[in-house]
Amino acid sequence: MKSRKLGTSGLTVSPLGLGCMGMSWAYGEAPDRALMIALLRQAVERGVTFFDSAEVYGPFTNEDLLGEALEPLRDQVTIATKFGFDLTRDPATGPGTNSRPDHIRTVVDASLKRLRTDRIDLLYQHRVDPDVPIEDVAGTVAELIQAGKVVHFGLSEAGAQTIRRAHAVQPVTALQSEYSLWQREPEVEILAVLEELGIGFVPYSPLGRGFLTGAITAETVFEKGDFRTRLPRFQQEAMAANAALVDVLSAIAAPIGATVAQIALAWLLAQRDWIVPIPGTTKLSRLEENLGAAELVLSPEQLADIDQASRAADIVGARYLPAMEAMTGQ
C-alpha cells in the first residue's frame, strides 16, 4: 500500500490503520488471544503500519496484546495509545476523565511496559478533561517527548478551540474523532481547523461500528456484553430506519465490484489526503476487504452520489449515551 502523512508532522503511516479495541473489549466475549496475535502480524504482512490502542480498552489488556504481537516487528510499525480516564472509579458509574500531569506520567510509564517498547509513537488524550487546562496537558506531553518516551501528540474528540490552545503549546500531530458516512459532524468546523494547522485526522468507527458493512440489520442480535446494545443508534427501530443508507451504498458498490465497507472507506480516503481511517476487525477476511478500499478509486460522479446519499439519509438515534456524548467536542 501507499503511505500517507498525518498532516505536516512528518509521521507517515499506511493509508488505513487498524483499530484494535474489539480484539479485547467492547463487542462481547473477547476473541482468542492467539488468534488476535496472529491477525495483528498478518496485518503487518499486508502492509498495515498503524495500530491503535488505549489503556482503557480492557482495561489494559489491549495494550498488552499489542505489546506481545508487535514486539518482534516494533521498528516496522507505528503504535498509538491514549490516556485520560480515571480507571479507579466505580465501574458502575463509568470512568471519569483524569488528565492531571502526574497521572499522565504514570499512565505513560505503565503503557510503555505493556506495549513492550521504549516509546509511544502517537499519544492521544482520550477525552478532554474539563478540570485540567489543555495547556497543562500539552505541556506534560511535551516533557514526555523531550524525555524520548513519546514521539507525537494527539487529541481525541476535541473541539476547535481546544485544538488551537493545545497546538500552541505542543504541536498536535493528529486528531482522532468519529467520522463516517453516518457521522459527518467534523465537516462543520474541525476539518478546516486541521487543514489550517497541518494536523492529520484519524477517523475511528469509519464503518459505523460495523453498520456500514451491511452485515447488521434490524434483526441482528448482539452478544452479551456488546456495548452497541446500549447505544441509541443500534436499537431495533433505529437500525431498521438507518438501513436505507446502506441500501443506497450497496447499489453504488455492486456495479463496480466493491463492497459497502470498501465504498465507505474509499469515500473517507477521498476527502483529504491526510485522513487515515482505523477500521477495526477480528477477522482476516474483513481486514483484507477493508484494505481493498485503499486501492479503490472512486470517480467524481460516484463520490457525488455517495455524498448525496449520505446527506439525504435521516440517521436515527444518537451515537452515544448522553454521558459519553457530553465528553466530546469540548
- What contacts 46, CB < 8 A, 6 or more positions away? 287, 288, 291
Element (H, E) at 168: helix 160-169
- What contacts 308, CB < 8 A, 6 or more positions away? none
* Backbone φ/ψ region at 80: left (φ over 0), alpha (ψ -120 to 50), beta: beta
Tell me the C-alpha distance between 218 and 148, whole Å.
Answer: 49
Q: In the structure grid, which three cell numbers stand for residue 131, read together? A: 478540570
DSSP per residue over 253-317, as a string? HGGGT--HHHHHHHHHHHH-TTB----B-S-HHHHHHHHHGGG----HHHHHHHHHHHHH----S
Tell me the C-alpha distance between 23 and 17, whole Å.
Answer: 14
Tell me the C-alpha distance between 309 and 252, whole Å.
Answer: 10
Please say if 57 is a catalytic residue. yes
Per-residue CA distances from 304 to 141, 176, 229 (Å):
41, 25, 33
* Active-site residue (options: 27, 57, 179, 204): 57
- What contacts 257, CB < 8 A, 6 or more positions away? none
Q: Residues with catalytic annotation? A: 57
